[in-house]
Amino acid sequence: MHPEPTPNATNVHELSTPAVLVDIDTLEHNLSTMAAVLPGALLRPHVKAHKSTALAEMQRRHGHRHFTCATVREMVGMARAGLGDDLLLANEVVDADRLRELATLQDDAMITVAVDSDATVDAAARAGIHHVLIDVNIGLPRCGCAPHDAARLAQRARDRGMAVRGVMGYEGHLMVSNDRNTQRRDTLAAMDVLRSAASEVGGEIVSAGGTGNHDVHAANRAHTGVTEVQAGSYALMDTYYSTLGLPFRQAISILGTVISTQEKWAVADVGLKSLGMDHGNPSIAGHKVWFCSDEHLTFATEKPADDSTRVPQPAVGSRIRVIPAHVDPTMSMHDSFYLVRGDQVLDRLPIDLRGW
Amino acid sequence: MHPEPTPNATNVHELSTPAVLVDIDTLEHNLSTMAAVLPGALLRPHVKAHKSTALAEMQRRHGHRHFTCATVREMVGMARAGLGDDLLLANEVVDADRLRELATLQDDAMITVAVDSDATVDAAARAGIHHVLIDVNIGLPRCGCAPHDAARLAQRARDRGMAVRGVMGYEGHLMVSNDRNTQRRDTLAAMDVLRSAASEVGGEIVSAGGTGNHDVHAANRAHTGVTEVQAGSYALMDTYYSTLGLPFRQAISILGTVISTQEKWAVADVGLKSLGMDHGNPSIAGHKVWFCSDEHLTFATEKPADDSTRVPQPAVGSRIRVIPAHVDPTMSMHDSFYLVRGDQVLDRLPIDLRGW
């Protein structure tokens, strides 16, 4: 799972496929753009979007030293990589073994665990976790306690000897919207709920948001009281978020090889085992994706608008770049990615936070 | 990636989640049912469906010594595990490094590679591959040469010093059908095309089919000339194939833990990073799945038909079994699976053929 110190390949055409490519200049654009909008601790980058300590290290170089994780594996990996200044597990865990493993990291890392029920408070306390955050449901039918229960849970956590650092809420249902005014209005309404819970819970953290509404949060901090945004997708992007007109660009693609070509279609070796499919088919510039199978992607060249000339399918052996519809599960299917500039391969880096 | 020789857990309730469970009795039922319909070399089990040499070894114990693979990684892993009696790479490859790695296995394993174009014939020849099969397109818009081109490609392969063992064709578009009479008719029509190509190509192998129409192939071998069926999903099954009324039962489930519960829904830790999502949402017996997120599954108890009683959501900490909609990509997301009998854990086995 460790990168080769010097990759043999110096050009993407020499890579075996499928292979994850991350364009370093686009990545740097995305990281610096976000760091300008939400500098330092105002952004708590979510590592679930890339599952790579190497990429998190780049985010730290842009000034963000606090990170969000979705799994214990991500927390442990980040701490062991020296990225444990302030790690938030923004997810509920009742697994006693995993919580105990987390607790052992607390000498060297700042570990905070989200809780939303008596059971999760008690599990954290039993495992010796020192810091928790109250996860408040602000509209997405997923985790988070009822807002009116937040203060009681905080008291229960304090009674069990844990420090309560504040609240988090994730308005995931508001991340992607056709109407940004509606998105702004609904985000602010959700933050009213979170702010009210925060005032009852106490603590210094009010954590919320994501890539899709990071700018709403940046512009309304004084009103909402949100102290940090949990964005992840902004670094690499995908076609799902690209519809929003955000200032981030497509940094990730999956390099494929054309392995079969017919008159009307071509087939590449980027199948659905190498692509997160929950947001639908991926995209290929200048081509129409027909469907994905386990190990295959069937696609065709797009006809020009005037339909005047027959455009041949790409030849067997040629390379294509496939843009995933959802970056998070795509990264979790690969064990490494290549940093590239155009067709030049600069480095191979591990996706080392996979699994649970 | 190697299994713990003796798992600490002896009951599924002690496992960390998400975890892949395979019920050994259901698996044995599926393997023995298929071995009765297509014994020995009549079945060439497709390892892409499970990516586990341990599971392939069980299939060999049921009499199948020839296997189908979709990737070079699968071929290499199978050969190194001593399962290389007769391995077919039922996929096109032009990667010179990977083909050379395959060629090095030929002293100890029988390696056959599918080809469907001049480029793939030439790549196999250059790498020193000894045996090929002509992949013929029989209706699915994916790989396979035009049927009329099969004989020419076979001659090209022989001219380059390779033995041509026969033909394969994959009628993937006919695997799942609401009308089994139509499925049978269309399968036989596709086999007419394949048989015609086979007679021109020569060789002893005519390889086709899958779980969804394995019985059509078994009943019509004398007519079609098909010598082997490439079924994979039958061993573990999924909800996609379960609609067909096949004699195979659901052997795989993903064990999850309920981490959050509200009045109207519950949340488990079996998210879309642990489930192949291209066939849609998974299922949970007695519950309705609302949606999957990266690390979460939101679901609810089903109301009884008479709606007379409110059924509470499962408690935090309770376990659920999630049935994936598509088994192949689900297995490829996990590094191991547990063989279980009911709630008893018998063994932990590696999913060791992942990647490319």
Looking at residue B109, what DSSP letter applies? Answer: S
Q: Is B257's Cβ below 8 Å from some Cβ in A?
A: yes
Q: Is B46's Cβ below 8 Å from some Cβ in A?
A: no
pLDDT tens profile A214-242:
999 999 999 999 999 999 999 999 999 98
CA-nearest of A87, A98, A95, A106 to A48 is A87
Whether A354 and B18 have beta carbons less than 8 Å apart is answered as no
Across the interface, whether the CB atoms of B257 and A95 are under 8 A apart is answered yes
CATH topology of domain A252-350: Lyase, Ornithine Decarboxylase; Chain A, domain 1 (2.40.37)
Confidence of residue A303 (pLDDT cuts 50, 70, 90): confident
Distance from C-alpha of A193 to C-alpha of A195, rounded to nearest angstrom: 6
B94 alpha-carbon distance from chain centroid:
23
Q: What pLDDT score does A6 carry? A: 46
Give the residue extent of every domain in chain A.
Answer: 24-238, 252-350
Residues 6+ apart with CB under 8 A from A203: A133, A154, A163, A164, A165, A166, A167
pLDDT tens profile A111-156:
999 999 999 999 999 999 999 999 999 999 999 999 999 999 999 9
- Residue B342, sorted as left (phi over 0), alpha (psi -120 to 50) or beta, turns out to be left
- Number of H helices and E strands in chain A, helices first, is 10, 15
Taking only Cα atoms into account, the Rg of chain B, rounded to an integer number of angstroms, comes to 22
Task: Spell out which residues of chain B touch residue A332, defining contact as CB-CB under 8 Å.
Answer: 273, 333
Lowest mean pLDDT among A10-14, A26-30, A32-36: A10-14
Say which CATH architecture domain B25-235 belongs to: Alpha-Beta Barrel (3.20)
Residue of chain B nearest A329, judged by CA positions: B273
Task: Spell out which residues of chain B touch residue A98, defining contact as CB-CB under 8 Å.
Answer: 16
Kindly provide the ipTM of the predicted complex, given to two decimals: 0.95
Distance from C-alpha of B144 to C-alpha of A260, rounded to nearest angstrom: 7
Q: Is A16's Cβ below 8 Å from some Cβ in B?
A: yes
Q: Is A117's Cβ below 8 Å from some Cβ in B?
A: yes
Whether A333 and A274 have beta carbons less than 8 Å apart is answered as yes
The whole-number average pLDDT for the span A39-48 is 98
Residues 6+ apart with CB under 8 A from B339: B22, B24, B27, B345, B346, B347, B348, B349
How far off is chain A from B355, nearest CA to CA, in Å?
Answer: 7
Whether B87 and B53 have beta carbons less than 8 Å apart is answered as no
Confidence of residue B178 (pLDDT cuts 50, 70, 90): confident
Global pTM value: 0.95
What is A24-238's CATH number? Answer: 3.20.20.10
Instruction: List beta partners, residue A284.
Output: A287
